[in-house]
Amino acid sequence: MVGFCIDGASNTTGKFKGLTTLLRQTVGPHLQTFHCMAHRLELAINRTVHEVNPVGHFQIFLDSMYAFYSRSPQNQRELGFHASALSIELLKVGRVFDVQWVFSSFTAVRALWRGHPAL
């Protein structure tokens, strides 16, 4: 083993009991660790969202839409009825700008964009 990619959590980077420390004791001091670039990108986007006010408002709006439709089968049926009346294919509205992957935010925004007349 030459190296591995980590997410930067304390249980992987801990100085005494972290996974990196335990692996270096087993494998050797040559072991290289890398903070996952996709995770770093998502953390940077998440921080930007919290510092740019209009984007933060958009996130709150999408999260409330997600909560409204994901928690109620009645709301989902009503939305489906309106979408079929407008001949719109509904995509699932998900959470946006959560610390996941950037693509999940893209799919959630795309679902809102395509289904906004029914919403």
56-95: pLDDT as tens digits: 777 778 778 778 877 888 988 888 888 888 888 776 666 5
Q: Are the C-beta atoms of residues 7 and 39 closer than 8 Å to each other? A: yes
Structural domain that includes position 11: 3-35
List all residues 6 or more positions away from 111 whose beta carbon is below 8 Å from its beta carbon: 90, 91, 92, 93, 94
pLDDT at 92: 66
Number of domains in the chain: 2
Shared domain for 75 and 45, answered yes or no, is: yes
pLDDT at 59: 74
Q: Is the pLDDT of residue 100 over 80?
A: no
Which residue is it, tokens 């839409």?
Answer: 65
Q: Is the pLDDT of residue 32 over 80?
A: yes
Of 74 and 97, the structure prediction assigns the larger pLDDT to: 74
> Can you tell me whether residue 68 is helix, strand or coil?
helix
Q: Are the C-beta atoms of residues 100 and 42 closer than 8 Å to each other? A: yes
Q: Is the pLDDT of residue 45 over 80?
A: no
Shared domain for 55 and 92, answered yes or no, is: yes
Backbone angles phi, psi at 50, to 5 degrees: -75, -20
Q: What is the chain's Cα-based Rg?
A: 20
- Which 8-state DSSP code applies to residue 3? E
Shared domain for 92 and 60, answered yes or no, is: yes
Mean pLDDT, the chain, whole residue set = 77
Shared domain for 24 and 47, answered yes or no, is: no
Shared domain for 51 and 13, answered yes or no, is: no
